[in-house]
A and B are shown apart, each in its own frame.
Chain A
Amino acid sequence: MKSLRALIAAGAVVTAFAAAQNPVSPKCKVDLAFNRYYDYGEIVATMKKIADAHPGLVTLESIGKSWEGRDLWVAVVASRQGTPLERRPAMWIDANVHGNEVQGSEVCLYTLWYLTENYPRNEKVRELLDRAVLYVLPSQNPDGRDWWFHGPNTPNSSRSGKAPIDDDRDGVADEDPPNDLDGDGSITSMRKKVEKGGTHVPDPDDPRLLRPARPDQVGTYVVLGLEGIDDDGDGQINEDGPGGYDMNRNWPSDWQPNYIQGGAGAYPLSHPECRAIADFILAHGNIAALQSFHNAGGMILRGPGAQSFGDYPGDDVEVYDRIGRTGEEMIPFYRYLVIWKDLYTVRGGFVTWGYEGLGIFSLTNELWTTPQYTGKPDGQTDLARLKWDDRVELGEKFVEWKPFRHPLFGDVEIGGWKKDTNRVPPTFMLEELCHRNMAFTLYHASEMPKLEWDPPEVAEVSPGLWRVRVEIRNARTIPTRSAIAIQKKIGTPDRLSILPKGCKVLSGGRRVGPFGREKVEHVEHHPERLLLEGGVRGHASVRAEWLLSCPAGRPEFGLRFEADKGGLLER
């Protein structure tokens, strides 16, 4: 009887244990839903929850404040054992520089959540967080984000931050924004049915849509633009809304003033958000990879941002291509593209600064593209989208036209797409977007340099004279120094040092040349500390050799290899 009870109790324990360790759906320390979007306050609260639950993996650091005073919280993700974080290769991940391009922040949250929950379980996650560090800033533009969530907007508005700009150059800033006339939280469109002077007719397939009247048709509608009135009485409507700049044109490389590059800002890094981020990145020379999430269009973008730059060095293009094409395979309907060639010219962009100014392999994923919705490459017309909205989202995203008495136009109709459509996925598809883009970003991170070496070869070449040879290998695709960093002399060259005890370093240098016939490039000054401008290429190695005078016999020495973006080896 007793033993039966013991057996039952033991069984209960086993069952309970099995429940806690359900191998198919392990219990999470932090439960988080990815079928919804998070405003700034919720993002910060979620980051804190994750950091509190995983103190050994995540710390939070406010790197500055936005124009309206919101903290820019960066999550520093890495295991805290082993090499100090600042000596590890690092990846910078951010999102939402354009306030309306929101879902990248959810990708960042998902990444934090996934990495922390899976660190104990997944070997690849563990390998990455043990050897590297991720700096994750879910929103570059928290003011724009919060305004998009809580203010009346369209899918495209609130791209800017909130510092007032006098868009219409009349001496007053932000005095004629769009107005949420029907009070539904979205800025939709205005149209007016007219007897005469119409330019549009209802689409025969769906009268909620208008299309231009044919030459043989009489127009029955005029299109009046976005919901709004002429607040400042200058005869124009909605021409001076909140903000009015583009923080993704405010970075130093190929920055050009507003009249050349719209939205550029007063000077590079003039916005407090950009300044804070640049200060952080400049202070972290270990950042070797960078991803900055935007929406939309399903793209994996690299520079150049302008044709005038010319081409990126071939060696770097090969690395980029390897990463970008892998991304195309990992995320259906995404295309790997070059910004100026395939999208448009961007001067003073963030990822172009990352690569062209700092030598970091930098990418922007433009998240979400309608074919993901339909599962087919076509279907991006408004008509098709309306059908999908009616059927799959139960009509949630389209505001039916309703009459409104406008102070200037008289009787009009207001209606159209809500702000959380077109550029952001329907929430039921958000989690997939988050996971695939995170997986691609972790792949990008995993290709950051991983340095390895074997014990050095030590040989006595004549009495008291010893030769030491060492080889440093990079086991991943990204080099310790990009070709552009070498070309433009960005950062500090890699350093290979020998620290002998009781011996004198007579000479030293890199071993170069064809296999089996290597020669030593002796350096004249400081042979004990070799500066390696060329770094270590991906899946390649550098070799070096020293001659030591060691009268006391076999030399004792330390070795150190330091690469700003490749980490530290010491023995």
Chain B
Amino acid sequence: LAQALRAVFASLALVAPLAAQVTPRDVDLTALTAAAETRKAAITVVEVMKSAAGAPVNAMLVGIAGQVPVAARPRLLVVAGLEPDHAGGILVAARLASDIVELAAGDEKLRAVLERCSVEIIPCLAVDGVAAAQASGLVQPARTDTRPVDDDRDGVADEDGAEDLNGDGVVTEMRVKDPLGEWRVSEDDPRLMVRADRAKGEVGSWRLEPEGVDDDGDGRINEDPKGGVDFDRNFPHGWKEFDRRTGTSPCSEVETRALVDHVLATRNVAAVLVLGHRDSLVETPPAMKAANPAPDGLETEDRPLFEAVSEKFRKRTGFERKSEDKPDGAFHQWAYFQQGLPAFAAKVFEPPKPPQPASLPSGKKAESDDAKRLVDSDTRLGGKGFVDWKPFQHPVLGAVEIGGFVPLADVNPTAERVPEISRAFAQFVFDLLEMLPRATLQDVSARPLGGGLHEITAVVRNEGRFPTVLRIGTRTRAVLPSRIVVDLPVEAFELGERRTLLEPLGAAGQGRKLRWIVRAGAGTTAPVRLWTEKAGEAAADVTFTEPK
């Protein structure tokens, strides 16, 4: 039956109206890195991995030629499309590279930033999931990959997914008359369903079910859809075991493991930004209360930096909506809590604040999330965020009504908004790059002491708004110590060592003065080289002279 229904409605879906917002159908998987084609000098395409199904997952590496090769510079990694249904993030990320290059072309200061930093953008990690969502032809939540998982633990995987019964291309809800139903029709708007508050004597008469049929006859509808594991819950920090959407282990999925391996191998990744369902930028995550054994919040010393980033982000995007989401097992959490990196998660869209209706029939303001969502659909989306309830003869349940909110209409932007969002994110990317630590080598000089001995001094300074290593990076020891090398034979050193490992440098001009006494011939020179993992490199030569 389900198969027959699917066949019928699959053909209907092709002519069904599209949702107002962007969906996986708007993603062209073959053109995710097309921006590179017109800006070859500043954008190169790199294959980061092959997906589980063998499709390439590509990144765009953005940077303008400068002293250090683009691939070796401090790098901001931007990842989108961890969830296949987050088409907004994928489309914004795909545009972002061109906007970054354009901004740099029109501003000398930004150009300098892009000459010393780079941005790596992976527009879509879940390429298999996006392809599957496109193949389904339906607008529905799709956060997982395509690995078959037995969600309902009946010994069969993926046997009870949604059906688009009314053929509108959108999986909404069914309301079913039920004497034991917990839902009633709202007095404010007959389209809205509210849970009957029994404590107030309200009586329910409807049951809500997802749109579909009970394919496996177990009494539940759509409880074992196709897929899979949610990538952004499959990373090692805060990973939740025993949840069928989180995988059998952290990094159990081909793509999540490859992404982690990529970051571990790309030691110059200095910051991470994820575009997806989660947010850590509108509201700065809480400070650590305990580390038992792993920290449960931001390090107290790091949090003000995160607040400063948040302020920039809110200014660029205008976003205000806080996230209820728990970021267990999220990629940006791993990047901060285990790799010690500044790492952030951002949504690319939030609906504008709806105009308040003067009064609702009940005399109340539209305060509930659903009421606001409905106003947003009626105003911004011209009604396309909600499917009006219409009677339907369900093959098993009989007379039902199908309707309700269009999934993700409040998460993904409409297509025409994508360019301006991308522009705002490009500006934010520069905000972030300017804050990253930047180690410099200054006042490198040598003074003859007589007897063939020379005193070398040098100042190492951090010009960035962030320290060279966040407090969390010091805790986790994931960032290698910076080192300064005076390139003379080991035997030449009377004081100090050929290679000195440095403690992290604080932010905003903090640093250290170093001193060596070496044996060297007058007239010779020695290179002094500063190496940092995330804050760039610097070098200078010292020349040894005769005493005056």
Binding site for B on A (CB under 8 A): 166, 169-171, 233-235, 252-253, 255-261, 266-270, 278, 282, 308, 347, 357, 488-493, 495, 524-526, 531
User: Can you list 13 A-B pairs with a CB-CB distance of less than 8 A?
Assistant: A170-B483, A171-B483, A252-B248, A252-B249, A255-B236, A257-B478, A261-B293, A266-B264, A268-B251, A347-B293, A492-B150, A524-B219, A531-B153
Q: Is the CB of B241 within 8 A of A171?
A: no
Q: Which residues of B contact A525 (CB under 8 A)?
A: 217-219
Closest to A491 in B: B153
Q: Is the CB of A171 within 8 A of B480?
A: yes
- Pick the residue among A169, A266, A489, A491 that contacts B481 (CB under 8 A): A169
Closest to B150 in A: A492
Q: Is the CB of B249 within 8 A of A260?
A: no
Q: Which residues of B contact A253 (CB under 8 A)?
A: 241
Q: Does B379 contact A (CB under 8 A)?
A: no
The residues in B between 64 and 94 inclusive whose CB is less than 8 angstroms from any CB of A are none
Q: Which residues of B contact A256 (CB under 8 A)?
A: 293-294
Q: Does B397 contact A (CB under 8 A)?
A: no
- Pick the residue among B155, B242, B476 that contacts A257 (CB under 8 A): B476
Q: Which residues of A contact B501 (CB under 8 A)?
A: 169-170
A260 and B338 CA atoms in complex are apart in Å by: 10
Closest to A256 in B: B293
Q: Which residues of A contact B239 (CB under 8 A)?
A: 252
CB distance from B483 to the nearest CB of A (A): 7
Inter-chain pairs besides A252-B249, A257-B236, A492-B150, 19 sampled, C-beta below 8 Å: A169-B481, A170-B501, A171-B483, A252-B248, A256-B294, A257-B294, A257-B338, A258-B476, A259-B475, A267-B236, A267-B257, A268-B236, A269-B252, A278-B249, A308-B293, A488-B241, A489-B242, A526-B217, A526-B218
CB distance from B479 to the nearest CB of A (A): 9
CB distance from A122 to the nearest CB of B (A): 36
CB distance from B7 to the nearest CB of A (A): 25
Total residue contacts A-B, CB cutoff 8 A: 84
CB distance from A371 to the nearest CB of B (A): 35
A269 and B153 CA atoms in complex are apart in Å by: 25
CB distance from B147 to the nearest CB of A (A): 12
A491 and B251 CA atoms in complex are apart in Å by: 20
Q: Does B250 contact A (CB under 8 A)?
A: yes
Q: Is the CB of B218 within 8 A of A268?
A: no
Q: What's the dominant secondary structure at chain B's contact region?
A: loop
Q: Which residues of A contact B322 (CB under 8 A)?
A: none
Give the residue among A259, A488, A526 with the most B Cβ atoms within 10 A.
A259
CB distance from A208 to the nearest CB of B (A): 36
- Pick the residue among B153, B217, B251 that contacts A492 (CB under 8 A): B153
Closest to B214 in A: A525
A493 and B478 CA atoms in complex are apart in Å by: 42
A386 and B153 CA atoms in complex are apart in Å by: 59
CB distance from B531 to the nearest CB of A (A): 8
Closest to B236 in A: A267
Q: Does B499 contact A (CB under 8 A)?
A: yes
**Chain A to chain B: the 6 pairs with minimum beta-carbon distance, closest first:** A252-B249, A525-B219, A488-B242, A260-B293, A259-B476, A268-B249
Q: Does B314 contact A (CB under 8 A)?
A: no
Q: Does B477 contact A (CB under 8 A)?
A: yes
Q: Does B38 contact A (CB under 8 A)?
A: no
- Pick the residue among A166, A266, A308, A489 that contacts B292 (CB under 8 A): A308
Q: Is the CB of A493 within 8 A of B153?
A: yes
The residues in B between 481 and 509 inclusive whose CB is less than 8 angstroms from any CB of A are 481, 483, 490, 497-499, 501
Closest to B247 in A: A252
Q: Which residues of A contact B154 (CB under 8 A)?
A: 492, 531
A363 and B251 CA atoms in complex are apart in Å by: 26
CB distance from A101 to the nearest CB of B (A): 24
Q: Which residues of A contact B153 (CB under 8 A)?
A: 489, 491-493, 531
Q: Which residues of A contact B217 (CB under 8 A)?
A: 525-526
Q: Which residues of B contact A234 (CB under 8 A)?
A: 497, 499
Q: What's the dominant secondary structure at chain A's contact region?
A: loop
CB distance from A59 to the nearest CB of B (A): 26
* Residues A357 and B294 in contact in the complex (CB < 8 Å), given A170-B501, A267-B251, A492-B154: no
Q: Is the CB of A259 within 8 A of B477?
A: yes
CB distance from B155 to the nearest CB of A (A): 5
CB distance from B500 to the nearest CB of A (A): 11
Q: Which residues of B contact A170 (CB under 8 A)?
A: 483, 499, 501
A284 and B477 CA atoms in complex are apart in Å by: 37
Give the residue among B252, B260, B481 with the most A Cβ atoms within 10 A.
B252
Give the residue among A166, A267, A269, A526 with the most B Cβ atoms within 10 A.
A267
Q: Is the CB of B250 within 8 A of A252?
A: yes
A166 and B480 CA atoms in complex are apart in Å by: 10
Q: Which residues of A contact B236 (CB under 8 A)?
A: 255, 257, 267-268
The residues in B between 130 and 151 inclusive whose CB is less than 8 angstroms from any CB of A are 150
Per-residue A-contact encoding for B404-423, CB less than 8 Å = 1, 0 else:
00000000000000000000
Closest to A564 in B: B155
A163 and B305 CA atoms in complex are apart in Å by: 36
CB distance from B95 to the nearest CB of A (A): 32
A252 and B250 CA atoms in complex are apart in Å by: 7
Closest to A260 in B: B293
CB distance from A12 to the nearest CB of B (A): 62
Q: Is the CB of A357 within 8 A of B241?
A: yes
CB distance from A505 to the nearest CB of B (A): 13
Q: Which residues of A contact B478 (CB under 8 A)?
A: 257, 259
Q: Which residues of A contact B250 (CB under 8 A)?
A: 252, 255, 267-268
- Pick the residue among B251, B294, B483 that contacts A260 (CB under 8 A): B294
CB distance from B338 to the nearest CB of A (A): 5
Give the residue among A166, A257, A357, A493 with the most B Cβ atoms within 10 A.
A257
A185 and B257 CA atoms in complex are apart in Å by: 39
The residues in B between 518 and 537 inclusive whose CB is less than 8 angstroms from any CB of A are 531
Closest to B339 in A: A257
Q: Which residues of A contact B498 (CB under 8 A)?
A: 233
CB distance from A258 to the nearest CB of B (A): 7
Per-residue A-contact encoding for B424-444, CB less than 8 Å = 1, 0 else:
000000000000000000000
* Residues A267 and B260 in contact in the complex (CB < 8 Å), given A170-B483, A489-B153, A493-B153: yes
CB distance from B216 to the nearest CB of A (A): 8
Q: Which residues of B contact A278 (CB under 8 A)?
A: 248-249
CB distance from B33 to the nearest CB of A (A): 27
A169 and B476 CA atoms in complex are apart in Å by: 13
CB distance from A51 to the nearest CB of B (A): 30
Q: Which residues of B contact A347 (CB under 8 A)?
A: 293
Q: Which residues of A contact B218 (CB under 8 A)?
A: 525-526
A528 and B407 CA atoms in complex are apart in Å by: 37
Closest to A524 in B: B219
CB distance from B68 to the nearest CB of A (A): 17
CB distance from A172 to the nearest CB of B (A): 10
Q: Is the CB of B293 within 8 A of A269?
A: no
CB distance from B259 to the nearest CB of A (A): 11
A308 and B292 CA atoms in complex are apart in Å by: 9
Closest to B291 in A: A260
* Residues A169 and B219 in contact in the complex (CB < 8 Å), given A255-B250, A278-B249, A489-B242: no
CB distance from B274 to the nearest CB of A (A): 17
Q: Which residues of B contact A282 (CB under 8 A)?
A: 248
* Residues A492 and B475 in contact in the complex (CB < 8 Å), given A524-B219, A525-B218: no
Q: Which residues of A contact B293 (CB under 8 A)?
A: 256, 260-261, 308, 347
Closest to B481 in A: A169
Q: Is the CB of A169 within 8 A of B480?
A: yes
Per-residue A-contact encoding for B167-209, CB less than 8 Å = 1, 0 else:
0000000000000000000000000000000000000000000
Give the residue among B257, B475, B490 with the most A Cβ atoms within 10 A.
B257
Closest to B250 in A: A268
Closest to A495 in B: B155
Closest to A264 in B: B236
- Pick the residue among A258, A269, A270, A491 that contacts B477 (CB under 8 A): A258
A199 and B75 CA atoms in complex are apart in Å by: 51
CB distance from B150 to the nearest CB of A (A): 7
Per-residue A-contact encoding for B229-270, CB less than 8 Å = 1, 0 else:
000000010010110000011111000010011001000000
